[in-house]
Structure 1
Amino acid sequence: MLRLVTLDVTNTLLKFSRPPGEQYAAIGQLYGLNANPKKLSEAFRISFKKHEKEVPFYGASSIGWQNWWLNVVADTFRKADCPADDDTLKKVGYHLNKHFSHGGAYELIDGSIPLLTRLQSKSLKIGAVSNFDERLDSILIQKMMKFAVTLYENISKTRKLFSKASESISFNAKRYNPGINPPRIVYWTKSVNNVYSPFMPFSTSNIILRSSFLMFCGNQNYLKHRLDSREQKANSNKNKMLYFYPFFALALFQSKKDEEEEKSLESELIMIIKRGVLAIQRAELNKAEQLLHVALKSAQDTQNHQAITYIYDLLANVAYQREEYVKAENLFKEVLKRVLADGMAPDDNAVVEISLKLASVYASNGDYEKAVQGFHFCIGTQEGKIKKYGEANVDEDTTLLWAMSMDWYARFLLNLQKYELAKKHFIKAYEMSERVQGLNHPQTAVLLNDIGSVCSLQKNYAEAISYLERAIDAAKQSDSPDLGSFYVNLGAVYLQQGMLQEAELNCKTGLFLAKKSKNVEGIEEATACLTEINSVKSENPKK
């Protein structure tokens, strides 16, 4: 039974009413500072990430959020080539702290009011859970909530934040009798990798929803879903966390009359789709396809247009993973036709995402002309949005989808042995990943590894070692499951140079890590590397 819905705030319910640079510039002018708003926006993004890394959680355990933001403000103006004395910057900082403490600095994202109204009509407890400082309590949106919990106030993070959320409505799974499912909680967020990702284990009956479902509350168009770039790569590690996509929320927001009339059919359909998605995550592709075809028949019988589109997309992904490229192509085209017919803009991120998959299908089929056209469309469309609004002002999905398009195109070029061009695109993808996700994000580490691999193919061994060592450092920080493979790749570079001792050390480390993480592919890679090393040793005993 659903009892609680918690929502992230930033970019899920609220966004800046104007870009930060414009708001900083307006306040700065009151104190005689004339700064370029665009430069301020870019400087703000850089300063925020810098201070977030150096003094995490808004200085909760050290200098406090007020001083933390004063430092960000001062750093932002300096980086925007707007020098001022410390006293003036402090006054501007205090003014901005107050300015961003009220609702005027923000505006509701489209669909927020209908969403909250529909949730309230269901008598659900609604709360805000956010990576925010303690000013969240004074922002207007909190008045619509039963409670607000911030990471700043709960510095221990992990489960404690969500434990506090559930305690706020006076229930806990432990109060329920054994064998009875605990009440379901929905965590609603813009980015699953942001505040929410560590908390899914809090209860296996809980759901994380991407905030793209908000568009459903304002209209009945296709419910967009986002796949993490790692999930979209062929032969990539499967994400162990199951992301329940927005379609599943349909059952939560039916009217009472609808629930009475369609409860059985809708519940059965949603359950079948959930089982199909679980099978995909577990790489049980035959089972997934069977389940999804059953779900498709049910959706067609009930004329559930949105469900049909969603299931087609899932089936297309299954076909792609099974290397059934003709089937995947036809299904992706059908999904694209349906979402465009429903009114989705041709440059919408969801359209670009499907087009990127199609380009990859064309590449796999050997239709290189269509593949290149597809990759160029995806890269060009995302670049157009970034140039139009500025990188600091577009959402994270847009920038990361651009980086993913660059990454996939680079892999395509790599297969064609266009090493220098592939390297160029890998580097662009890496630079964006580092800016948006951080140096130690698993995807950033993967891209560093890919650049190193290209350098190795070009026989630029010193450069290859440098990139691979950086990939290893980043992977260590993020506990990446690919760490063992990176060590093996580094060992292979040393092997190519005849440095057998270094090669063996790295391949053995890779084997140890692969066994520890039960990474079968990693174990095979490391074993093959060590076998090759032993072969070289036997041929050249002195080495």
Structure 2
Amino acid sequence: MITVIRDLAQELQQKPHLDKPQVIFFDAMGTLFGLRATVGEIYAAIAVSFGVTVDISALNAAFLDTFRASPALAFGESDLSKLQPLEFDWWQAIASQSFQKIGALEQFEDFTAYFQLLYDHFATAQPWFIYEDVIPCLNYWQNQNVELGIISNFDSRLHHLLVALELENYFQSVTLSSASQTAKPETPIFQQALAKHQSQPHQAWHIGDSFREDYQGAERAGLKAFLIERPG
């Protein structure tokens, strides 16, 4: 396990005999960037502007339970005009069920209006921060002519978020579960990402913070996998 992405860059510098990968893939949330507050805190803060107050800890726990029990965010739809409503509905169902579990859903006069504001908020830079080791290492690998990509169990808002965080120019590819038919840890999503770089599994690394989705998934797909441990 690595604790910072910088460790990998240093290993390449210190051990030049190591085979340099053609491409390095990254998970997004929890690997490249994280939330400044818990999901429960963010949900609750925006709910206040709609006259709704909740127990933040209870809401966060309800969100985590609902999120983990939800079906994969994978629709196999590349047409954004069709994909984006599917993504919106998927997340709205999680949010509404989270509030329902703590008995607060009925407090909203217009839950859809609340959720639209919440949904758009997560596509901005405001709730996120970039881990301090990320930019130096992305610069290093770019200078080494290593291709970079993202494989994420997220939705099309990630494209807007990468622009907002000024990360978009580092990555040659972004592979999203929502536009795919499967999500990590399933092998096909890794294969889709590899195809974008015309790369074989043994020529690729994958770095992520989930043992199941990132480490085990990448290993099963034949990539060299690295598990990163982020604080919190």
* Structure 2 residue 176 is the aligned partner of structure 1 residue 150: yes
* Structure 2 residue 67 is the aligned partner of structure 1 residue 41: no
Report the alpha carbon displacement of residue 99 of structure 1 after superposing the two structures with TM. Answer: 0.9
Counterparts of 2:110 and 2:205, CA distance in 1:
45
Among 59, 64, 75, the residue aligned to 1:60: 75
Mapping of residues 5-24 of structure 1, within 5 Å: 5-24=24-43
Asked whether the equivalents of residues 151 and 175 of structure 2 are also in contact (C-alpha less than 8 Å), the reply is yes
Q: Could you say which residue in structure 2 is the equivalent of 1:84?
A: 106
Q: Aligned residue pairs: how many?
A: 200
Counterparts of 2:203 and 2:74, CA distance in 1:
33
Q: Could you say which residue in structure 1 is the equivalent of 2:6?
A: none
Counterparts of 1:101 and 1:60, CA distance in 2:
20
Counterparts of 2:143 and 2:127, CA distance in 1:
28
Q: Could you say which residue in structure 2 is the equivalent of 1:4?
A: 23
Give the match's secondary structure for 1:9: coil
Counterparts of 1:77 and 1:201, CA distance in 2:
37
Q: Could you say which residue in structure 1 is the equivalent of 2:3?
A: none
Mapping of residues 243-392 of structure 1, within 5 Å: none
Q: Could you say which residue in structure 1 is the equivalent of 2:225?
A: 208
Mapping of residues 175-186 of structure 1, within 5 Å: 184-186=203-205
The structure whose Rg is larger is 1
Report the alpha carbon displacement of residue 125 of structure 1 after superposing the two structures with TM. Answer: 0.7
Report the alpha carbon displacement of residue 85 of structure 1 after superposing the two structures with TM. Answer: 5.4
Report the alpha carbon displacement of residue 28 of structure 1 after superposing the two structures with TM. Answer: 0.6
Asked whether the equivalents of residues 66 and 94 of structure 2 are also in contact (C-alpha less than 8 Å), the reply is yes
Q: Could you say which residue in structure 1 is the equivalent of 2:92?
A: 70
The one-letter amino acid paired with 1:114 is P
Report the alpha carbon displacement of residue 47 of structure 1 after superposing the two structures with TM. Answer: 2.1
The one-letter amino acid paired with 1:49 is R
Counterparts of 1:186 and 1:59, CA distance in 2:
23
The one-letter amino acid paired with 2:179 is E
Asked whether the equivalents of residues 35 and 81 of structure 1 are also in contact (C-alpha less than 8 Å), the reply is no
Higher relative contact order (CA 8 A, sep 6+): 2
TM-score by length of 2: 0.75
- Name the CA shift for 1:159/1:58 in 2 (closer, same or farther; >3 Å): closer
Asked whether the equivalents of residues 44 and 53 of structure 2 are also in contact (C-alpha less than 8 Å), the reply is yes
The one-letter amino acid paired with 1:112 is V
Give the match's secondary structure for 2:22: strand
The one-letter amino acid paired with 1:102 is T
Q: Could you say which residue in structure 2 is the equivalent of 1:128?
A: 150
Report the alpha carbon displacement of residue 77 of structure 1 after superposing the two structures with TM. Answer: 2.0
Counterparts of 1:58 and 1:90, CA distance in 2:
20
* CA deviations over 1:363-384 (Å, ceiling 9, x no partner): xxxxxxxxxxxxxxxxxxxxxx
More strand by share: 2
Asked whether the equivalents of residues 73 and 89 of structure 1 are also in contact (C-alpha less than 8 Å), the reply is no
More helix by share: 1
Give the match's secondary structure for 1:6: strand
Report the alpha carbon displacement of residue 119 of structure 1 after superposing the two structures with TM. Answer: 1.7
Report the alpha carbon displacement of residue 66 of structure 1 after superposing the two structures with TM. Answer: 0.6
Q: Could you say which residue in structure 2 is the equivalent of 1:513?
A: none
Q: Which runs of 5+ in 2 are unaligned?
A: 1-19, 77-82
Among 130, 138, 151, the residue aligned to 1:108: 130
Give the match's secondary structure for 2:180: coil
Q: Could you say which residue in structure 1 is the equivalent of 2:47?
A: 28
* Structure 2 residue 216 is the aligned partner of structure 1 residue 188: no
Among 139, 156, 172, the residue aligned to 2:199: 172
Q: Could you say which residue in structure 1 is the equivalent of 2:188?
A: 160
Give the match's secondary structure for 2:126: helix
Q: Could you say which residue in structure 2 is the equivalent of 1:475?
A: none
The one-letter amino acid paired with 1:172 is S
Counterparts of 1:58 and 1:123, CA distance in 2:
32
Report the alpha carbon displacement of residue 59 of structure 1 after superposing the two structures with TM. Answer: 6.3
Counterparts of 1:165 and 1:66, CA distance in 2:
24
Q: Which runs of 5+ in 1 are unaligned?
A: 174-181, 215-393, 396-543
The one-letter amino acid paired with 1:36 is D
Counterparts of 2:213 and 2:202, CA distance in 1:
24
Q: Could you say which residue in structure 2 is the equivalent of 1:97?
A: 119
* CA deviations over 1:40-91 (Å, ceiling 9, x no partner): 21221122223x1xxx123637982211111111122232342425652221
The one-letter amino acid paired with 2:93 is N
